[in-house]
Amino acid sequence: MATCLVVANSLFRPPKPILPHKHLPLQPISSHSLPKSPLNSTFLKPHFSHSDSCRFRFIAPASLGETDASSDEPLPLVGEDSAAFDLGTQNIVSWVYFTIILGVVLFVLDVIWIDNSTGFGKAFIDAVSTLSDSHEIVMLALILIFATVHSGLASFRDMGEKHLGKRAYRVLFAGVSLPLAVSTVVYFINHRYDGVQLWQLQNGPGVHQLVAAVDQPKVHLWETGIMRITRHPQMVGQVIWCLAHTIWIGNSVAVAASVGLIGHHLFGVWNGDRRLAIRHGEAFEVVKKRTSIIPFAAILDGRQKLPKDYYKEFIRLPYLAITAMTLGAYFLHPVMQAASFRLHW
């Protein structure tokens, strides 16, 4: 059987030295002979023959990241496989550590922020509330503070990890962002029915069923699963959440909260793509061409080719866990409302 050659695209790795066949001498291929720009290079696909001599057929259907309209097969992945989870590779000790650390973080959060007798959460809300008597203004201010801190720390992640280390910076990021997020959510829950009533649709037939969709979905370059539908699922989920709650509540506080949250997430779309481009370079440009921000847009215009068994990418433990948590959050709305009311924020 003749030996066969696979030439890897320069985006992923430099070519390996090639040993020529004794009956069919081959010239070594250096990295200089490959295109410098992955976006202008082509996939080189070997065609294997069962003849005694090894023959090579290189197919260049499209530039990297572009779609071959004549083929129904999806292009090879450049990004990571989303939500891939192998139970056999999990370390029990790591999960024990994670559970302990999570418990400690939640305990500290309760003591230094949530508990009104020991924490600073109420003092923070009171300080922001001095800006205006308008709940809409305070709501927007809380979202602006959270968005500035959260997106700011995310933007400086590479520099922060270089100086503090990845684990330490993650603790800093969560330790600052989480209390501000809790304050914003609690304030919205406690004041969601304040402000000027703009419309009242709660008693309309089918309104509850229409607006009951609550979707909430490190720096990975994901390319499968939900990313085939939209490259920014968290933004899409937040827009769905805002539309649902604004339609249901129908007052000025809900509108103010939705404007602030959607604005923050739209900024996050730009900032997230910017950070991915800096970190992953041309690989991100490939994924960007194959995906879309607007749900299903890349699929409809042919840039995204779904594999025949695409549904299997969603039948994975992380997706199932998110679905269960989303449903749990929906049914636990009365508990969250009662807990928020007791804080008197």
pLDDT at 277: 93
Q: Could you tell me if residue 33 is inside a domain? A: no
For residue 144, the enclosing domain spans 91-191
pLDDT at 211: 63
Say if residue 173 is in the same domain as residue 231: no
Comparison of pLDDT for 268 and 16, the residue scoring more: 268
How much is the average pLDDT of 58-69?
42
Say if residue 242 is in the same domain as residue 303: yes
> Which pLDDT band holds residue 40 (cuts at 50, 70, 90)?
very low
Say if residue 170 is in the same domain as residue 253: no
Percent over 90 (pLDDT), the chain = 45
> Which pLDDT band holds residue 123 (cuts at 50, 70, 90)?
very high
C-alpha closest to that of 1 among 51, 43, 37, 76: 51
Could you please report the per-residue DSSP string of 269-286?
HHHHHHHHHHHHTHHHHH
Q: Could you tell me if residue 150 is inside a domain? A: yes
pLDDT at 219: 66
pLDDT at 49: 42
> Residue 237, exposed/middle/buried by CB under 10 A (0-12, 13-18, 19+)?
buried
Percent over 70 (pLDDT), the chain = 75
Q: Could you tell me if residue 86 is inside a domain? A: no
Say if residue 174 is in the same domain as residue 117: yes
pLDDT at 252: 94
Rounded Cα distance between 345 and 343, Å, is: 6
Rounded Cα distance between 291 and 305, Å, is: 10
What are the pLDDT digits (tens) for 147-197?
Answer: 999 999 999 998 988 888 888 888 889 899 999 999 999 999 999 989 888
Say if residue 98 is in the same domain as residue 186: yes
Region of 55 on the Ramachandran plot (φ > 0 left; ψ -120 to 50 alpha; else beta) = beta
> Between the CA of residue 317 and those of 85, 116, 214, 222, 321, what are the distances in Å?
7, 37, 19, 16, 6
Comparison of pLDDT for 190 and 90, the residue scoring more: 190
Comparison of pLDDT for 104 and 86, the residue scoring more: 104
Q: What is the dihedral of CA 181, 185, 191, 195, to 10 degrees?
A: 80
Say if residue 99 is in the same domain as residue 163: yes
Q: Could you tell me if residue 255 is inside a domain? A: yes
Q: Where is 170: in which H helix or E strand?
A: helix 166-191
How much is the average pLDDT of 121-129?
95
Asked if the model's pLDDT at residue 95 lies above 90, the reply is: no
Say if residue 231 is in the same domain as residue 290: yes
pLDDT at 200: 83
Q: What's the token pair of residue 83?
A: 């939500």
Q: Could you tell me if residue 259 is inside a domain? A: yes
pLDDT at 102: 85
Say if residue 231 is in the same domain as residue 160: no
Q: Could you tell me if residue 133 is inside a domain? A: yes
Q: What's the token pair of residue 323?
A: 């679905």
Q: How far is CA 90 from the centre of its chain?
A: 22
Asked if the model's pLDDT at residue 78 lies above 50, the reply is: yes
How much is the average pLDDT of 25-30?
47
Say if residue 237 is in the same domain as residue 278: yes
Say if residue 269 is in the same domain as residue 310: yes
Rounded Cα distance between 201 and 179, Å, is: 33
Q: What is the pTM (predicted TM-score) of this model?
A: 0.60
How much is the average pLDDT of 110-133?
94
Comparison of pLDDT for 284 and 13, the residue scoring more: 284
pLDDT at 7: 36
Q: Could you tell me if residue 274 is inside a domain? A: yes
Say if residue 95 is in the same domain as residue 183: yes
What are the pLDDT digits (tens) for 275-318?
Answer: 899 988 999 999 999 999 999 999 999 999 888 888 899 998 88
Say if residue 173 is in the same domain as residue 244: no
What's the half-sphere exposure (Cβ side, CA atoms, 13 Å) at 95? 5
Neighbours of 58 (CB within 10 A): 12
How many domains does the chain fold into? 2
Q: Could you tell me if residue 271 is inside a domain? A: yes
Q: What's the token pair of residue 24?
A: 């069919």
How much is the average pLDDT of 307-330?
90
3-state helix, strand, coil in the chain (%, to 5): 55, 0, 40
